[in-house]
Structures are given as structure tokens and as C-alpha cells.
Amino acid sequence: MLLVLYLTLLTTFLPFSIVAQQTNGNDFVPVGASLTATDDGMPWLSPSGDFAFGFQRIQQKESFLLSIWYDKIPNKTVVWYSKGGPMVPRGSKVELRDGRGLVLSEPQGKEVWTSESNISDRAYGFMNDTGNFVIVDAISRKVWESFCFPTDTILPTQVMERSGEINSKISETNFFTGRYQLTLLPDGNLILRKRDIPSGILYNVYYRSNTRNDTNKTNSGLQLIFDESGLCIF
Ligand SMILES: *[C@@H]1O[C@H](CO)[C@@H](O)[C@H](O)[C@H]1NC(C)=O
Ligand SMILES: *[C@@H]1O[C@H](CO)[C@@H](O)[C@H](O)[C@H]1NC(C)=O
Ligand SMILES: *[C@@H]1O[C@H](CO)[C@@H](O)[C@H](O)[C@H]1NC(C)=O
Ligand SMILES: *[C@@H]1O[C@H](CO)[C@@H](O)[C@H](O)[C@H]1NC(C)=O
Ligand SMILES: *[C@@H]1O[C@H](CO)[C@@H](O)[C@H](O)[C@H]1NC(C)=O
């Protein structure tokens, strides 16, 4: 038996947009395409324009975050960012590269993050209307999805497998790993716990779903599903 856990982490939804935004045929991001961190850089948009992938300038500072955000609301709420939340300076670049996948590098060339996807030059990236940025290879197989590497947010249709986790950020503008963690343990229990930020040590489990079943392990929690079903297998 598959025990499904439902959790509503986002309580506010986007206002329904009546007029579909005209897509300009640039929905598919080809290998070789790149984005640069500037004030007026155009992100890669989903077909409806609801979600954007690119660099978001954090407050008025000279630091940018590679992220996915709701593009149609004034606050441009970030729903995903590159692991650890590293800020990069103006002029940094993210490129979809042959053999590498997404590669984030600073202006002097220092690599900060990569999706580590060994793609061919016929692969492409796609910002889906669900908020999932996917890399699809030449045989139409998904080789990387932002949904499989959640940071602090789970979106509708997103699934977390056992050992998956999301972590709060330090503050509204500091995206380094913060104080709270939600994780689905390998034994099927969903827990919330606190972290000591300086040391990174996790302690104080203050919520436990009690969905671990030692009598019959197949009755233990398997996935955390927000809204609809899906599966990440690599
Ligand atoms: C465990 O639970 C599943 C689903 O309820 C059931 O089909 C299976 O027979 C159970 N196994 C044992 C050993 O009780
Ligand atoms: C948008 O951001 C401002 C400034 O951080 C905040 O005061 C406001 O509550 C936010 N609005 C929403 C709807 O989250
Ligand atoms: C990437 O894929 C190619 C073609 O399948 C293969 O020859 C190569 O060894 C792979 N490289 C890595 C680093 O896995
Ligand atoms: C975008 O998401 C929808 C809904 O999950 C899915 O049916 C579709 O295949 C996705 N598109 C791509 C290119 O992954
Ligand atoms: C664990 O599974 C057993 C066997 O299916 C069942 O009788 C029992 O009620 C389950 N316990 C919990 C806490 O779900």
C-alpha cells in the first residue's frame, strides 16, 4: 500500500490569468543559450509567463541569485534557487552546456554551481508552467528537473521522495540554509526539525507524522505529494 502524505505549504495561489501571454517561440532553451546577471536581463519564461528562470537581484545590492520565481506578482516570490543559495556578482552567467547541463559561473570564470547533467548538443531546457525547470535530452527523456532538487518550497504537483528535504532560508534576503528542515526519512516518517545555523547540526524534532510502520513496512510513508502525482527517477 502506498501511503500518500498531503501537505499544503503554499496557501496562496496566483490569481488566474485570463489572457494567455503570447509566446514568442523562445520557450525551448537550446544548448549554448545563456543568461547574464544584469538589471534588465530577460529571464527564461514559462509559456504562460507565470514562472521565470534566471537571475534575481536581491534587494538593492549588487548580488544576484540564480532562481525560479513567480513572475506575475509584484514580489516575484522565489520558489527555487541553486543549492546552498550562493549570491553571485553582476556579470555572472548561467549557460546550458553540452556535456555539463546548467553551469553557473562568476565573471572571472569561477564555477559556482552546476546541474551536472551530461547532455548532448540536441538537448534543451524548458521552464514549465508548473514551476519546474527541466532539461530534456535528444530522446525526450528528462535528465534534470528543479522539482527533484527543492530548496525551501514545494509547489503543486511537486513530489518529495524518501530522504528528500527542504530547508528554510536564513531570512527574506539571505538564501543560505536556515533554521528549519522538513524531511521525509527513509523509514517513512515526515519530520520537522531545527538546526543550529553556525554548526549545521540538526536537532529538536518538533513534528513527526508517525507514518512509519515497523509491523508492515509497506504501510510506511513513501512520498510527500503536493496536489498531484509525479515521480523523480534518475
Ligand atoms: C502489508 O500490508 C499490505 C497492504 O496493507 C498487505 O497487502 C500485505 O499483505 C501486508 N504484509 C504483511 C506481511 O502483513
Ligand atoms: C511583498 O514584500 C514586501 C516587502 O518585503 C512585504 O512587506 C509584503 O508583505 C510582501 N507582500 C506579499 C503579498 O507577500
Ligand atoms: C557523457 O555521455 C557521453 C555519451 O553518452 C559519454 O561518452 C561520456 O563518457 C559521458 N561523460 C561523462 C562525464 O559521464
Ligand atoms: C510540463 O508539465 C506538464 C504537467 O506536469 C507535463 O505534462 C509536460 O510534459 C511538461 N512539459 C515538459 C516539456 O516537461
Ligand atoms: C501497521 O501495519 C499493520 C499491518 O498492516 C496494521 O495492522 C497497523 O494498524 C499499522 N499501524 C499503523 C500505526 O499504521
What is the pLDDT averaged over residues 183-197? 93
CA 93 – ligand 1 centroid, Å: 52
CA 45 – ligand 2 centroid, Å: 23
Report which protein residue has its CA nearest ligand 5's atom 10. 213
Helix (H), strand (E), coil (C) string for the chain: CCEEEECCCCCCCCCCCCCCCCCCCCCEEECCCEEECCCCCCCEECCCCCEEEEEEECCCCCEEEEEEEECCCCCCCEEEECCCCCCEECCCEEEEECCCEEEEECCCCCEEEECCCCCCCCCEEEECCCCCEEEECCCCCEEEEHHHCCCCCCCCCCEEECCCEEEEEEECCEEEEEEEEEEECCCCCEEEEEECCCCCCEEEEEEECCCCCCCCHHHCEEEEECCCCCCCCC
Q: How far apart are CA 159 and CA 190, in angstroms?
A: 13
Residue 135: is its pLDDT beyond 80?
Answer: yes
> Who lines ligand 1 at CB under 6 A?
1, 216, 218-219
Around Cβ 185, how many Cβ atoms within 10 Å?
A: 19
CA 181 – ligand 3 centroid, Å: 35
Give the pLDDT confidence of 149-164 residue by residue, as tens digits: 999 999 988 888 889 9
Which ligand does the CA of 220 lie closest to? 5
Q: Are 67 and 78 in contact (CB under 8 A)?
A: yes
Catalogue all structural domains in the chain, each as residue range(s) with its CATH number: 4-12+156-233 (2.90.10.10), 25-145 (2.90.10.10)
Ligand 4 atom closest to 157 (CA): 5
Q: Tell me the one-letter amino acid at 96.
A: L
Which ligand does the CA of 135 lie closest to? 4
- pLDDT > 90: what percent of the chain? 65
> Who lines ligand 5 at CB under 6 A?
213, 215-216, 219
Which ligand does the CA of 78 lie closest to? 2
Give the pLDDT confidence of 110-128 residue by residue, as tens digits: 999 999 999 999 999 999 9
pTM of the model: 0.83
